[in-house]
Amino acid sequence: MAPDEGNDLPLLDPAVLDRLRTELEDDDGVWKVFVQNFIERLPHRTEKLRLTLTTGDLVGAMDAVLSLKTSSQMVGAERLAGLAMELEQALRHETLHSEPARVLPRLAADRLRQIIRCARQTTNILQKYLHSG
């Protein structure tokens, strides 16, 4: 994925949420609890990503970005998952021949603001989706 390609993705793919709702057969609103848990954990995930990037913790940053990417994919947060995927690829590529302690803070400066803004937008749209369902 090219840099900023994640911006071309929709904030939310409702088909993913509809499929989740169907698979869980709307059993006492389990799908809503799943989405609410994602919303509640999202600030923790982005904060962990910020902390690990700014401190040069490559293992922690990789764990944080994979957690963000996977959880975003599971609720259909396409743009957020795309941004996390771009960061994951940058982490893998840019730390091959460079010191993580120098590369990771730069990646934080370049990408965190956009990821956090997208996380807020995603939270807002997911909350609207929850209240409409």
Q: Which domain holds residue 109?
A: 5-18+30-132
CATH number of the domain at 125, please: 1.20.120
Q: What is the pLDDT of residues 25-55, one digit of tens each?
A: 766 688 888 899 999 999 999 999 999 999 9
Q: Is 61 inside a domain boundary?
A: yes
Mean pLDDT (whole number) for 5-24: 82
Mean pLDDT for the chain?
A: 91
Query: Of the spans 1-5, 11-15, 69-73, which averages the highest pLDDT?
Result: 69-73
Number of domains in the chain: 1
Indicate if the pLDDT at residue 2 is higher than 60.
no
For residues 4-18, average pLDDT: 79
Joined tokens for residue 42: 């999202």
Q: Would you say residue 23 lies in a domain?
A: no
Spatial distance between the Cα atoms of 98 and 14, rounded to a whole number of angstroms: 40
Residue 105 lies in a domain: yes
124 in any annotated domain = yes
Which residues make Cβ contacts (< 8 Å) with residue 115, sequence separation at least 6?
46, 49, 68, 80, 83, 84, 87
- Per-residue pLDDT reduced to its tens digit, 49-94: 999 999 999 999 999 999 999 999 999 999 999 999 999 999 999 9
Q: How far apart are CA 125 and CA 127, in angstroms?
A: 5
**Contact of 35 with 75, CB cutoff 8 Å:** yes
First-to-last alpha carbon distance for the chain, in angstroms, is: 33
In a domain, 117, yes or no: yes
Q: What whole-number distance in Å separates Cα of residue 115 and Cα of residue 106? A: 14
Is position 24 within any domain? no
Q: Is residue 25 part of a domain?
A: no
pTM: 0.90
For residue 43, is it within any domain? yes
pLDDT band at 6 (very low <50, low <70, confident <90, very high): low
CB 68 within 8 A of CB 52: no
